[in-house]
Structure 1
Amino acid sequence: MIFGFDKTAMPEREKALPGRPTREFAVGDKHLVTGNPIETDGPEGFEVAVLGLGCFWGEEKTFWEQPGVWSTSVGYAGGYTPNPTYEETCTGRTGHAEVVRVVFDPSVTSYDDLLKVFWENHDPTQGMRQGNDRGSQYRSVLLTTSPEQQAKAEASRDRYQEQMTKSGYGRITTEIKPLQDYYYAEEYHQQYLVKNPFGYCPLHATGVSYA
């Protein structure tokens, strides 16, 4: 609780922090691993996936290591506050989750492949937390960029729920909805574990295979 506000509850839109009309910080130009632009949709024919599975530092690394991933970034999405800062997001009063934006080549990898990585690298039954990281910013989310992605995301949830139930886990709480706005995080968050190779950001995988 911060000044009476529960960080594990989504704020009402009208009570969310106001934010600002434009971003007031740098993001960086080149991805420190791939060498490609950070603020990009990629070459023609490439696709974008936006996924939230807890602390975005470690999750970004998980995705940039996948074949066919051209660039990644971390940011804030799924909430209300325009152009939030990290400090604002941490209050829980923006409604945003920490997410990874993945630009990928669909001739090499697929959205389905990325969904497998998503499900197998966190615990999607924990609601507004991952491990000891508590708050709405750490919730599990899939923010889709097309009707096709929405359908695949929902189908993948149902498929993984079967596997989780067999393994004794409860209901998947992952929020699945179309992406409205994506706001890049500050430059020091981008490729954080390259800049801070001993940084703390644990994965909370359950060990349950997507199959």
Structure 2
Amino acid sequence: MSFLRMLSSKFQMPEAGTMLPGRDTPITTPGKHFVNGHDLDGPYPEGFQVLYVAMGCYWGAERAFWELPGVHVTAVGFAGGTTKNPTYHETCTGQTGHTEVVKVVYDPAKITLVQLLKTFWERHDPTQGMRQGNDVGTQYRSALYLTSPDDIKTAKETANTYQQALKKIGNTATITTEIEELKEFYYAEEYHQQYLARNPDGYCGLQGTGATCPLPVAPPNP
């Protein structure tokens, strides 16, 4: 593959015939959260809800959510593509169709979906397409994957709200965030889970646009 073709493929979703097949067996067995000790894969307390966010490199994105009051547990993995049980390195080829995702399990009695979405919009740049800052490729695209039609509707409404917030600060770029029903989530390897807690000096490229999303803020830590 030529250099120009490789560079171009970083910005385009792979065609069905070029997707990597993956494997039937999961690449990792989810354990416990490195920070709070909760089970990554549940079972979760009754009534808790789940949101899946993609904001570029999932290391910094995960930390942004596990620090919020009302969030029960977070985990990183892959969604939005076709390859079954992909590895991190396979996802980085751009031939799985997946993006790097954070699974956020939360107590809706303590923090709402809208409050979580406020953090999502403000903590990254949702207008950059197949990249986030210096991280380039389809695996860094902005996305929201939800589990109910009502949640999808809410997410799209907040996207419109944040688009107006961008315009107010003179940013005319269009939000490119993928907002869809979750089809499948695959856990990433154990060493990626809560990476910045395990490696406090590790890389975090998370940067916002400077626009404030006019949505309710999360409650302070108790």
Range of TM-score over shorter length: over 0.9
Deviation at 1:112, TM superposition (A): 0.4
The residue correspondences of 1:1-211 to structure 2 (distance < 5 A) are 4-5=5-6, 6-27=9-30, 29-40=31-42, 42-169=44-171, 170-211=173-214
Deviation at 1:41, TM superposition (A): 5.2
- TM-score (structure 2 length as normaliser): 0.91
Deviation at 1:204, TM superposition (A): 1.5
Residues of 1 paired with 2:133 and 2:94: CA distance?
Answer: 17
Q: Deviations over 1:139-198 (max 9, x none)?
A: 000011111110001100011101112222210000111000000000000000111110
Residues of 2 paired with 1:37 and 1:102: CA distance?
Answer: 12
Quickly say closer, same or farther: Cα 1:62–1:41, change in 2 above 3 A. farther
Q: Deviations over 1:91-123 (max 9, x none)?
A: 011000001000000000011010000000000
Residues of 1 paired with 2:74 and 2:67: CA distance?
Answer: 10
Deviation at 1:70, TM superposition (A): 0.4
Aligned residues: CA RMSD:
1.3
Three-state SS of the structure 2 residue aligned to 1:79 is coil
Structure 2 gap ranges (5+): 215-222
Number of residue pairs the alignment of both structures matches: 210
Aligned AA (2:38)? N
- TM-score (structure 1 length as normaliser): 0.96
Residues of 1 paired with 2:43 and 2:169: CA distance?
Answer: 38
Is residue 125–residue 209 contact of structure 2 (8 Å, CA) maintained in 1? yes
